[in-house]
Structure 1
Amino acid sequence: MARGARRYGEEDQEHYDRPRRRTRPRTKERPSYDDAVDGTVMRVDRGRLRVRLADRSADDPTVTAMKARPLGRKAVVVGDRVRLVGDVSGDDGTLARIVEVGERTTTLRRTADDDDPVERIVVANADQLVVVAALADPEPRARLIDRALVAAYDAGMDPLLCLTKADLASPDELVATYRSLGVPWVVSRRGEDPAAVRDALAGRVSVLVGPSGVGKSTLVNALVPGADRETGGVNAVTGRGRHTSTQALMLPLPAADGAAPDEGRDGWIVDTPGIRSFGLAHVSPDDLLRSFPDLDEAAADCSRGCDHSAEAPECGLDLAVAEGRVEPERVDSLRRLLAARVRDAGD
């Protein structure tokens, strides 16, 4: 065939262009969603989200929803404040769409390991991280507690130590470890009303984290009657608990007098699955240091690139201790948290 000659003649069907798929013309205008309603994500389970609407009472059913396509790869997590369109009746078989996710005030994050670049958002818009640790059966894991505290400081959340099974061991030794950091603490005993814990959670949005077997789900069941969180024991060989909760769940906290929760007026708690590691690849030493204004100010005298460890030459923290500007116990505690970032992710 000569160069430039047509492969098909005008009489051949292939000569004509194939019909194109009809599409709507593109537009830069985005829907306003004026009819969207506000809600809070209470649970995420395999692509389906359970949302409590802002104008509904605690007794009303939650709405099942899915993420709208325009949100792309943006994660929607428990605690997110969202806007929904579609069927928001909450009836069986109905499905609404989440079209907007509000700006987050806090974001609790973790990675699988310290060298894992992929961050996992645990919960959004919480203001208190409750680190639940058993005083015995299983034994407390101090380095895992340290890591959870680092995540709390990084997220801008207030930390709280909740020490369970105080009927088996004294909390004094473990509490002394964190006294210099000013971390508040509460204790609970099996079979007793967790009044002190309830008081510490009142009016807050609190996330409960801790390894399996420490009594986290048992505590939630005591705080929220009817929560029916599955509980499990501790493996006699490994000394670690068995996973029972598989998904994070946000629950309204009832009042101390047993009255029904009123739109979370008395607080919210988020029960999370048991953790065996708490990767902190997303937290830098400077990020952690900013959570301690007095030590951050002292670190201004550090040489460039100082990692603020005990081995660091000419660290401003050592100078501040020598001059009596900061307490040595507080510096030691900070350095323990800094060391927890880069070792023993699974403890």
Structure 2
Amino acid sequence: MRRYGKNPDEDDIRVRPNRKGNRPRTNIRPKHEDAVEGFVLTVDRGRLTCLVEDRQIHAMKARELGRKGVVVGDRVGIVGDLTGDKDTLARIVRVEPRSSVLRRTADDDDPFERIVVANADQLAIVTALADPEPRPRLIDRCLVAAYDAGLDPLLVLTKSDLTPADHLLETYAPLGVPYVVTRRDELVDGNAADRVRELLDGRITAFVGHSGVGKTTLVNALVPPERRRAIGVVNAVTGRGRHTTTSALALPLPGDRGWVIDTPGVRSFGLHHVDPSRVILAFPDLLPGAEGCARACGHVEDGCALDQWVTDGHADPSRLYSLRRLLASRERREGD
């Protein structure tokens, strides 16, 4: 034991600093009240491109956000270098509450949800009438996802110069889904694009569809030339398109008339995350009849009160058939 004598002073005694730090830990995080609002345009391997006022900047997610994801369509708070100059990087410190979230899973037995886009208010389901052949089951699944997310669906049928649209439109007529039919030659002269823009005016619309249906070709016809994306072709042997769109991208319509969000082509649309009880919310004419159903009724079993509701003439039988077809699409794999 070290001795300092009878009258030690401060020079004789050495105080060791606290190796764990002198400042106590705190759960208080900075509020970043000076953060500027931005709109996420695309996400690429952890780097995000955001629109801040009239310029694009690159940013990364701040560590304090933890596991909270940031996706295309998010409105975020950004701090740091906001000049947008080359080799600059800002930080996203806040994600504003979302008005909607479009989700999908890789398959029906996959519990891991993937957020496709945030804050969209319309879902454009793009399908070709031929080359490749339409896939009604995939359309049904996209409709279920739209209804579950609270998005208004829009059916966009392309390549009507190869096959008429009448049969497919008849299938979805009871749902009352708005639709637009396009031809390949109309995309060149702009007539089809003008008709589609009318349905997108003032809205944030996410475009989804199977690879090769002409989704990105249509998006390119809608946006200014400098914003166009690369497109692929359909394989003549397999009838499948090549994935040229590898990440979602938000693009502005001319004249600030809205946004389109082009998403990668999908070959399946898992619905593991969807609560079947929410699907009927898209059928207001059937909803009152469901009040007589048993608590655990899935609206497809014998004894469902909706059968009597339709029999009594309160709703068109084709509407109940459409509801049950959509509910069944959740229970069956897309390829079945």
Instruction: Decide: shared fold, TM above 0.5.
Output: yes
Residue of 155, 172, 184 corresponding to 2:166 = 172
In the other structure, the counterpart of 1:20 is 19
Superposed, which structure 2 residues align to 1:5-44 within 5 Å? 20-22=19-21, 24-44=23-43
When residues 327 and 42 of structure 1 are mapped into structure 2, their CA distance, relative to the original with a 3 A threshold, is: same
In the other structure, the counterpart of 1:222 is 221
In the other structure, the counterpart of 2:314 is 325
Give 3-state SS (helix, strand or coil) of 2:177's partner: coil
Q: Shift in Å at residue 346 of structure 1? A: 4.5
Q: Is 1:269 the equivalent of 2:268?
A: no
Instruction: Tell me the alpha carbon deviations over residues 285-331 of structure 1, each in whole angstroms, 9 at most, x when there is no partner.
Output: 2111122222121111123322211xx12111110111011100000
Amino acid at match of 1:286: S
Q: Is 1:83 the equivalent of 2:82?
A: no
Distance across 2 between alignment mates of 1:332 and 1:23 = 69
Q: Shift in Å at residue 246 of structure 1? A: 0.1
Superposed, which structure 2 residues align to 1:193-342 within 5 Å? 193=190, 194-224=193-223, 225-254=225-254, 261=255, 265-309=256-300, 312-342=301-331
In the other structure, the counterpart of 1:46 is 45
Residue of 170, 178, 182 corresponding to 1:184 = 178
Q: Shift in Å at residue 25 of structure 1? A: 2.3
Distance across 2 between alignment mates of 1:206 and 1:346 = 27
Greater displacement, 32-41 / 331-340: 32-41
Give 3-state SS (helix, strand or coil) of 1:295's partner: coil
Distance across 2 between alignment mates of 1:49 and 1:24 = 34
Greater displacement, 284-293 / 37-46: 284-293
Size of the aligned set, in residue pairs, is: 317
When residues 129 and 23 of structure 1 are mapped into structure 2, their CA distance, relative to the original with a 3 A threshold, is: farther
Instruction: Tell me the alpha carbon deviations over residues 19-78 of structure 1, each in whole angstroms, 9 at most, x when there is no partner.
Output: 73436422343312122100100000000000001xx23xx3x11001111111011000
Give 3-state SS (helix, strand or coil) of 1:286's partner: helix
User: RMSD of aligned C-alpha atoms?
Assistant: 1.7
In the other structure, the counterpart of 2:57 is 63
Superposed, which structure 2 residues align to 1:69-148 within 5 Å? 69-148=63-142
Instruction: Tell me the alpha carbon deviations over residues 155-182 of structure 1, each in whole angstroms, 9 at most, x when there is no partner.
Output: 0000000011111111111111111111
Q: Shift in Å at residue 220 of structure 1? A: 1.1
Distance across 2 between alignment mates of 1:113 and 1:42 = 26
On the 8 A contact 1:187/1:196 being kept in 2, the answer is no
Instruction: Tell me the alpha carbon deviations over residues 91-137 of structure 1, each in whole angstroms, 9 at most, x when there is no partner.
Output: 01011000110000000000111111111100000000000000110
Distance across 1 between alignment mates of 2:322 and 2:76 = 39
On the 8 A contact 1:278/1:346 being kept in 2, the answer is no
Distance across 1 between alignment mates of 2:49 and 2:335 = 31
Give 3-state SS (helix, strand or coil) of 1:92's partner: coil
Distance across 2 between alignment mates of 1:84 and 1:174 = 45
On the 8 A contact 1:209/1:274 being kept in 2, the answer is yes
Identical-pair percentage: 61
Contiguous gaps of at least 5 residues in structure 2: 3-15
Distance across 1 between alignment mates of 2:31 and 2:280 = 42
Distance across 2 between alignment mates of 1:82 and 1:302 = 43
When residues 298 and 247 of structure 1 are mapped into structure 2, their CA distance, relative to the original with a 3 A threshold, is: same
Q: Is 1:153 the equivalent of 2:147?
A: yes
Distance across 1 between alignment mates of 2:220 and 2:25 = 52
Give 3-state SS (helix, strand or coil) of 1:289's partner: helix
- Which structure shows the higher helix fraction? 2
Distance across 2 between alignment mates of 1:34 and 1:324 = 57
Give 3-state SS (helix, strand or coil) of 1:43's partner: strand
Give 3-state SS (helix, strand or coil) of 1:108's partner: strand
Q: Shift in Å at residue 84 of structure 1? A: 0.4
TM-score, scaled relative to structure 1: 0.88
Distance across 1 between alignment mates of 2:62 and 2:325 = 43
Distance across 2 between alignment mates of 1:24 and 1:68 = 22
Amino acid at match of 1:142: P
Distance across 2 between alignment mates of 1:123 and 1:289 = 23
On the 8 A contact 1:276/1:346 being kept in 2, the answer is no
